[in-house]
Amino acid sequence: MKLGTPRWWYVKNGGPAPLTRALLTPLSWIWADATRRRIARTTPAIVGAPVICVGNVTMGGAGKTPIVRELLLTLTQRGVNAHGLSRGYGGRLKGPTQVDTSRHTAKDVGDEPLMLAQDFPMWVAVDRVAGAKAATRWGAQAVVMDDGHQNPSIRKALSLVVVDGETRGGEWPFGDGRVFPAGPMREPLKVGLSRADAVIVLLPVDMEQPDFDLLVEFGDMPVLVARLEPAAPVPKGPQVGFAGIGKPWKVEKALTAAGCQLVDFAPFPDHGEYDEATLKMLAERAKVYDAGLVTTEKDWVRLPAKWREKVTPWPVRARFDDPAALEELLAKVGL
């Protein structure tokens, strides 16, 4: 059984579960040291095309995949043959495999690669070096890697760290700074930022500017602001929403902010599989309210085919406040 993201991870000061955090802290030291050692002893491979890594320093829910999509779109519009690369988390195929939406399912390649492959060439590979090299053999002039900031195997032309910039309601993207499993960090913040070329702060569309205290965390690093915007109207009428992403509560807030008439919302673990019993439960819940079912695009691709007809996907896109700043970063690596 997959566990959901603990919401107490994202409390900056005076968070709940102090005993749990204290007991998990020694495991955090082991995790951080193992990450540091792995990065230090690995010589990155050159794969034949510039690799742009879109990663983060937390365990999930930062919004990497929408940024990957926007980068692939930007590069494609500039005439660059850009391919995406993912580990394919949740899929059974080890790769390198180019995702084929006509025959692959999320069980084969993972939900995020399947979603992105609707618009761009996508590869899944547990061995990222092999995946990137396969992409270049098929003509990729640039590879955009979804996740992998802590993966030292590939020489990266550009390392971008995505940060969830929503700091309202007492939430803080880095919690109290503790490393997994005592907190949300994959590694200490300063350590992770030391290998990054820029930070992308991802905001909800209704939040005007990032928190000043958050920007202070990044020192003199380049910071780009992007916003998660609806790519389609919300479905009309009452809706029961559900989502299995890193921070499912943000989907509930986003749907409500976009005007969706949510009568109920069910959170699920990130990348979790929806079995028949769960989907029937959701359908029965919707029936009580005479409501429809709505979920994220990422969740929708994980649904069995017969259930996709019964659930409305709600896509979102990342849009940069300053597209020229992004283009300047790409130009520095020849793209």
Q: How many angstroms separate the CA atoms of 207 and 196, rounded?
A: 25
pLDDT bracket for residue 170 (50, 70, 90): confident
Query: Average of pLDDT values for 259-281?
Result: 91
pLDDT bracket for residue 12 (50, 70, 90): confident
Buried b (16+ CB within 10 A) or exposed e, 57-71: bbbbbbbbbbbbbbb
Q: Work out the number of other CB atoms within 10 angstroms of the CB of residue 197.
A: 17
Position 4 scores a pLDDT of 57
Dihedral over Cα of 270, 295, 251, 116: its sign? positive
Looking from the CA of 320 toward its CB, the CA atoms found within 13 Å total 20
Q: Output the average pLDDT for the chain.
A: 92
Q: How many angstroms separate the CA atoms of 74 and 137, rounded?
A: 22
Mind listing the pLDDT tens digit for each residue in 188-215?
999 999 999 999 999 988 888 898 999 9
Residue 1 has pLDDT above 70, yes or no: no
Task: Give the distance between the most distant pair of CA atoms in the chain.
Answer: 58
Buried b (16+ CB within 10 A) or exposed e, 179-196: bbbbbbbbbbbebbbebb
Mind listing the pLDDT tens digit for each residue in 37-94?
999 999 999 999 999 999 999 987 788 999 999 999 999 999 999 999 999 988 999 9
Mind listing the pLDDT tens digit for each residue in 90-148?
899 998 999 999 999 999 999 999 999 999 999 999 999 999 999 999 999 999 999 99
Q: Between 300 and 16, name the one with better pLDDT.
A: 300
